[in-house]
Amino acid sequence: MADSVEKYLQDSGYSNEYKSGFSAIKNEYRPKIKVQNPRHLAGSMDIDKACQKGEPTAPRWDYLVAVRKNDIENLALIEVHGAEKSGEVDVLIKKKEWLTRWLSRAGLTHFKKKFIWLSTGSIKITAQSKYAKKLALSGISFPMSVTPPLDTKVEYN
C-alpha cells in the first residue's frame, strides 16, 4: 500500500510510536473501539504519549487509529474524555485545534479523517443543545460510549 499512514509517521519521526492493531491504545479503552474486520485495522498511535515530552503543556489529542476502508487508509482520531460537563466541549475544540497543527507537521492532512469523542463516563450533553451544535461545527462527533465499527459504519471526510 503506497500511501500508508505508517510511512508518513516514519518520515516525520514517529516510527517507534506507531503500533500494529490496537497496540498503542490503553487496554481499558480497546473494547470501546470497534472494527468489523480486524484485518481492516492498519495500526494505532498514542499521540498524547508521543508528544508529551516535546509539548508537555499542550492540549494534546489522545489516539490515532488507521483503518483500511476500500483499500484506502483513513484516520479515526479518538479523544477519550469525560462528557459530564458542557464546558468539556471547549476543551475538545482546543485539543482538535492542536491536533490539526500536529497532523500538518506529521504530513497526514491529506488522509480522510473522523474526529471521535469517546466518553469516559456518562454523557450529560444533550443532542439538541448549543454545545452539540458547537461540536458539529467543529467537526467533532457527539460523545459516545463505544464507537461504531470504524471500518464499516464511519464516514470519513
**Per-residue tens of pLDDT for the chain, all 157 residues:** 458 999 999 999 998 999 999 999 999 999 999 999 999 999 999 999 999 999 999 999 999 999 998 889 999 999 999 999 999 999 999 999 999 999 999 999 999 999 999 999 999 999 999 999 999 999 999 999 999 999 999 999 9
Q: How far apart are CA 42 and CA 78, in angstroms?
A: 15
Look up the pTM and report it: 0.95
How far, rounded to the nearest angstrom, does the alpha carbon of residue 101 sit from its chain's CA centroid?
14
Per-residue pLDDT at 2: 55
Per-residue pLDDT tens digits for 96-108: 999 999 999 999 9
Torsion of CA 81, 82, 87, 90, to 10 degrees: 10
- Angle subtended by helix axes 130-138 and 88-105, to nearest 10: 0
